[in-house]
Amino acid sequence: MSKAIIRKMSEVQLQEVEWLWKPYIPFGKITIIQGDPGEGKTTFALRLAAACSSGEPLCGMEITEPFNVIYQTAEDGLGDTIKPRLIEAGANENMVLNIIEDTDPLSLSDKRIEKAITETNARLMILDPIQGYIDKNVDINRANEIRSVLKKVATVAERTGCAIVLVGHLNKAKGASAQYRGLGSIDFRAAARSVLLVGRLRKDPSIRIVVHDKSSLAPEGKSIAFNLGNNEGFYWVDGYDEVTAEELLCGYSAETKTAVAEELIRDMLDDGEEVMADEIFRVAESKNISRRTVNEAKKKIPNIKTRKVGKGWAWSISE
């Protein structure tokens, strides 16, 4: 039996994380973008590819100069779907690349992935969807089979410094926690250093929200939103940065959230006593209701009164 080779943690050099888009997408790691079909995850992925190829950053992104992107799709046609959408997004077509797989389908275990990244110096690779790049002999629901495949992909990402983004569908387990909604083994989520969830508003289907559902290398980023599906085309939308993954999966409605906050305020002020605003904010936060939403709900209560008490404010409801 061979002897185990041991090293001390004192011998391991600290390594700073490099970011494509902090804190959403790290270089040299796996990121997953997931959502139900038609919710906007491919549009989001294409906007990401276009931004990196053109050097025109998305909201909150910093790009010093454009770089090559490899985009693989197992569902959409390159000429009739992907290219028109990339052009509309302002991509540099010469810097969005594709591994030809017409007669030789690509899989996550394929050596061509690392070779293409290395030869083109691509800093971002997107595979859409994950399920289209799993070898037919691998069961996506069996952890022992999928784990070895993802370890190879993670190694390629780390070795090349390329951000590898896998686009995935959700399963049909409605009501389950967000971490169990990814299609296939939960090892997909375990292997990813970052997971982004894309979904639409129930009240306004043209608004799509991107929630940072998992982040292993930095605090989770605020949710971001974009418009998709009306005559105005794609544009970013403010006001949804506090939306959580669980809320999005339930069909988040800003009106519903405000209504919950309004009910909370009324309940806490029901006996006519004054309650400090900080206490109301604290209780609301424990229920994943933001301070902004509480203040919006407060405006809907016509008989609410506020009074300065020390360094804070006391709220009450008049008869």
**272 lies in the same domain as 149:** no
Q: Looking at the domain assignment, is residue 302 inside a domain?
A: yes
Q: Looking at the domain assignment, is residue 24 inside a domain?
A: yes
**108 lies in the same domain as 239:** yes
Cβ 45 vs Cβ 38: under 8 Å? no
Tell me the Cα Rg of the chain.
23
CATH code for the domain of 261 = 1.10.10
Which of 195, 222, 249 is the C-terminal boundary of a domain? Answer: 249
**279 lies in the same domain as 166:** no
**271 lies in the same domain as 209:** no
Length of the chain: 319
Alpha helices in 23-180 (DSSP H): 41-54, 83-88, 111-120, 143-160
pLDDT at 196: 97
259: enclosing H helix or E strand: helix 254-268
Domains in the chain: how many in total? 2
**191 lies in the same domain as 44:** yes
pLDDT at 55: 95
Measured in whole angstroms, the distance separating CA 145 from the mean position of its chain's CA atoms is 25
Q: Looking at the domain assignment, is residue 8 inside a domain?
A: no
Q: Looking at the domain assignment, is residue 1 inside a domain?
A: no
Alpha helices in the chain (DSSP H): 41-54, 83-88, 111-120, 143-160, 187-191, 245-249, 254-268, 277-286, 291-299
Q: Which residues of the chain have pLDDT under 50?
A: none
Q: Looking at the domain assignment, is residue 225 inside a domain?
A: yes
Q: Looking at the domain assignment, is residue 10 inside a domain?
A: no
Task: Quote the tokens at residue 279.
Answer: 């206490």
pLDDT at 310: 86
**63 lies in the same domain as 185:** yes
pLDDT digits (tens, 9 = 90+) for 6-55: 999 999 999 899 999 999 999 999 999 999 888 999 999 999 999 999 99
| Apex 149 CA angle, 148 and 154, nearest 5 | 95
**178 lies in the same domain as 104:** yes
Q: Looking at the domain assignment, is residue 61 inside a domain?
A: yes
Measured CA to CA in angstroms, residue 160 lies from 71, 142, 164, 195 at distances of: 16, 28, 10, 21
- The rounded distance, in Å, linking the Cα atoms of 70 and 157 is 13
Which of 249, 269, 295 is the C-terminal boundary of a domain? Answer: 249
pLDDT at 60: 87
**170 lies in the same domain as 266:** no
**242 lies in the same domain as 277:** no
pLDDT at 29: 98
pLDDT at 173: 65
Nearest to 252 by CA among 260, 261, 243: 243
pLDDT at 21: 97
Its pTM stands at: 0.79
**232 lies in the same domain as 181:** yes
- The rounded distance, in Å, linking the Cα atoms of 255 and 201 is 11
Which of 249, 267, 291 is the C-terminal boundary of a domain? Answer: 249
Task: Quote the tokens at residue 97.
Answer: 């690349």
pLDDT at 182: 75
pLDDT at 201: 83
| Dihedral class, residue 49 (left if φ above 0, else alpha if ψ from -120 to 50, else beta) | alpha
**151 lies in the same domain as 49:** yes
Measured in whole angstroms, the distance separating CA 181 from the mean position of its chain's CA atoms is 14
pLDDT at 176: 59
pLDDT at 174: 60
- The rounded distance, in Å, linking the Cα atoms of 163 and 247 is 28
- The rounded distance, in Å, linking the Cα atoms of 115 and 229 is 38
Range of the domain at 39: 17-249
**30 lies in the same domain as 173:** yes
